[in-house]
Amino acid sequence: MDVNDDAVQKQNTNPNPSRSGVEGDQSRLSNLMRHHIHMLKIRAREAYRTKPISYWILLFLAVVAMLVAFPASSILSRVYYTNGGKSKWIISWVAVVGWPITMLVLLPVYFFTKISPTPVNTKLILSYMVLGFLSAADNLMYAYAYAYLPASTSALLGSSSLIFSALFGFLIVSNKLNASIINAIVIITAAMTIIALDSSSDRYSYVTQGQYTMGFMWDILGSALHGLIFALSELVFVKLLGRISFHVVLEQQVMVSFFACVFTTIGVIIDRGFQQMASEAKVFKGGPSSYYMVLTWGAITFQLGILGGTAVLFLASTVLAGVLNSVRVPITGIAAVIVLSDPMSGFKILSVVITFWGCICYIYGSSEN
Q: What is the mean pLDDT of each run of 10 residues along the chain (369 residues)?
A: 50 52 60 64 60 79 87 91 92 94 88 84 92 94 91 82 81 79 82 74 81 90 87 82 75 91 95 91 92 95 86 69 71 83 77 80 69
In which region does residue 85 sit, left (phi positive, over 0), alpha (psi from -120 to 50) or beta (all else)?
Answer: beta
What per-residue confidence (pLDDT) applies to 366?
67
What per-residue confidence (pLDDT) applies to 287?
92
Closest CA relative to residue 61, chosen from 72, 52, 51, 69: 69
What per-residue confidence (pLDDT) applies to 193?
81
What per-residue confidence (pLDDT) applies to 16?
54
Query: Which positions ≥6 away from 29 have C-beta within 8 Å?
Result: none
Contact 361, 331 (CB under 8 A): no
What per-residue confidence (pLDDT) applies to 296?
95
Q: How far apart are CA 157 and CA 351, in angstroms?
A: 10
Burial 282-310 (b: 16+ CB within 10 A, else e): eebeeeeeebeebbebbbbbbbbbbbbbb
Question: Helix/strand/coil (H, E, C) string of the chain?
Answer: CCHHHHHHHHHHHCCCHHHHHHHHHHHHHHHHHHHHHHHHHHHHHHHHHHCCHHHHHHHHHHHHHHHHHHHHHHHHHHHHHHCCCCCHHHHHHHHHHCHHHHHHHHHHHHHHHCCCCCCCCHHHHHHHHHHHHHHHHHHHHHHHHHHHCCHHHHHHHHCCHHHHHHHHHHHHCCCCCCHHHHHHHHHHHHHHHHHHHCHHHHCCCCCCHHHHHHHHHHHHHHHHHHHHHHHHHHHHHHHHHCCCCHHHHHHHHHHHHHHHHHHHHHHHHHCCHHHHHHHHHHHCCCHHHHHHHHHHHHHHHHHHHHHHHHHHHHHCCHHHHHHHHHHHHHHHHHHHHHHHCCCCCHHHHHHHHHHHHHHHHHHHHHHHC
Q: How far apart are CA 177 and CA 170, in angstroms?
A: 7
Contact 308, 69 (CB under 8 A): yes
What per-residue confidence (pLDDT) applies to 208?
87
Contact 93, 276 (CB under 8 A): no
What per-residue confidence (pLDDT) applies to 227?
84
What per-residue confidence (pLDDT) applies to 360?
78
What per-residue confidence (pLDDT) applies to 207?
85
What per-residue confidence (pLDDT) applies to 10?
47
